[in-house]
A = this chain, B = another copy of it.
Amino acid sequence: MEKQATIRDVAKLAGVSLATASRVLNDNNYPVSVQLRQRVKDAAQRLDYVPNTMARSLKGDVRKDIGLVIPSISNQFYHQAIQGITDVLGQNQYSLILCNTIRNLPQEEKYLRQLYERQVKGVILSSMSDNPDMVNEYIKKGMKFVLLDQKLVGVDSAGINFDTRAGARMATEYLISRGHREIAFATLPMTRKTRLETHKGYLDALRSAEIPYREDLIYEKLADGLDAYSDPELETGRCIAQAFLEDGCPATAFVCINDMLAIGVIKTLLQNGVKVPEDVSVFGFDDIPFASTFLPSLSTVHYPAVESGRFAAYMMLDLLRNEKPEMSVVMQLTPSLVIRDTVAEPRKV
């Protein structure tokens, strides 16, 4: 196993000082004569010299990598975001350190600390918590954050989020326009702000159509008995559909807080002889790739996930490179509807 050549070796072989070698290798505008320049370059080539990034960053250069902290790697939404992020980062010679918290807040803290210890200066974060304290603490220490799909009140940080309230409103209004009046709402526990927002959008639509709010049509659950291998959203969808069936199918349509949950609902409905969309219409949220792959293909609210990852990465780069960032804003993405095969008119009674 060869010892890695250092800049010292290069300098020696080229017969120049350390400083000169460094200057050539970094292509400064510092003047170095052509002959020496060439000699150094040749030497570097011969020795297959690669600079030691560690040593370099010791001198104050920021590390060229950023952390991504997400609650779940099994969620397709994040795959798309990662796709966008790695895409941009790769082109800019940055690396991505992936931290999967498995929906676990202490784990999230641990990862954040680990990143801090490693001098990682930028983190794209989708937190499990709505508490801004932890993030603020690290901001004070000089870390930069881009908040993905989440607004944290009381945090002065860049972020990308999606107007879920408008999305839910649009979806619900669409169902109403197709003639639905009994519309159920399926959600995971509303611990995260975005979920509450989604719920509000649903309410907005009901209100403007003057449909009375029915508490019993809100299915807010988390499937129990989940293990590491099962998809929590899919299982929760199952569980909600089960409850819905036991209630005697009190609605003609479902608005679901995300696609995987919607798919869980649909599967269980179909397996119990309830036809989708003939008997019950189902609307998803996110437009993950499976939404169009699944049969029947899912009507859903489109979220440009790959783009949002891309934006997040751009913002982060901007934040890291410029003292006065140009794009450091909270970017709000507007929803659009994708109508596929899981929505129809309500069945005639």
A234 interface contact, C-beta 8 A:
yes
Known: A117-B50, A263-B293, A289-B74. A107 touches B86 (CB 8 A): no
- Evaluate contact between A63 and B73: CB separation under 8 angstroms: no
Interface 1/0s, chain A 10-54, versus B by CB < 8 A?
000000000000000000000000000000000000000011111
Interface centre among A4, A100, A263 (most CB of B within 10 A): A100
Contact partner of A142 among B2, B52, B99, B267, CB < 8 A? B2
Q: Please tell me if the beta carbons of B73 and A82 are within 8 angstroms of each other in the complex.
A: yes
Contact, CB under 8 Å: B141 / A1: yes
Min C-beta distance of A115 to chain B, whole Å? 8
A65 to B263, CA, bound (A): 37
Contact of A119 among B54, B90, B263 (CB under 8 A): B54
A238 to chain B, nearest CB (A): 11
Q: A130-167: which have CB < 8 Å to B?
A: 140-142
Q: Which residues of B have CB within 8 Å of A51?
A: 117
Instruction: Report the nearest B residue to A64, measured CB to CB.
Output: B118
- Residues of B near A54 (CB, < 8 A) are 54, 57-58, 63, 118-119
B118 touches A95 (CB 8 A): yes
Q: Is A177 an interface residue (CB 8 A)?
A: no
This chain's copy number in the assembly: 2
Contact A1 B74 (CB under 8 A): no
Tell me whether A332 is interfacial, beta carbon within 8 Å: no
A270 contacts which chain B residues (CB < 8 A)?
295
Task: Collect the chain B residues with CB atoms within 8 Å of residue A105's CB.
Answer: none
Cα A99 to Cα B54 with chains together (Å) = 19
- A289's closest neighbor in chain B, by CB? B231
Residues of the B chain whose Cβ atoms lie less than 8 Å from the Cβ of A98: 82, 86, 96-98
- Residue pair B95, A99 in contact (C-beta under 8 Å): yes
Contacting residues, chain B, for A102 (C-beta < 8 A): 87
Minimum CB–CB distance from A309 to chain B (whole Å) comes to 10
Q: Which residues of B contact A267 (CB under 8 A)?
A: 293, 295
A83 at the interface (CB under 8 A from B): yes
- Does A208 belong to the interface (CB within 8 Å)? no
A290 interface residue per 8 A CB criterion? yes
Q: Is B90's CB under 8 angstroms from A107's CB?
A: yes
Interface presence of A306 (CB below 8 A): yes
**A55 on interface, CB distance cutoff 8 Å:** yes
The proximity string for A residues 85-116 relative to B, scoring 1 for CB distances below 8 Å and 0 otherwise, is 01100100101111110100001001101111
User: Which residues of the partner chain B approach A294 to less than 8 Å between Cβ atoms?
Assistant: 293-295
With the chains together, A13 CA to B30 CA distance in Å?
41
A228 in contact (CB, < 8 A): yes
Which B residues are CB-close (under 8 A) to A57? 54
A-to-B contact residues, CB < 8 Å: 1-2, 4, 50-55, 57-58, 63, 65, 73-74, 79-80, 82-83, 86-87, 90, 93, 95-100, 102, 107, 110-111, 113-119, 140-142, 228-229, 231, 234, 263, 267, 270, 289-290, 293-295, 306
A-B contacts, 8 listed (Cβ < 8 Å): A1-B141, A2-B142, A74-B79, A90-B107, A95-B99, A267-B293, A270-B295, A290-B293
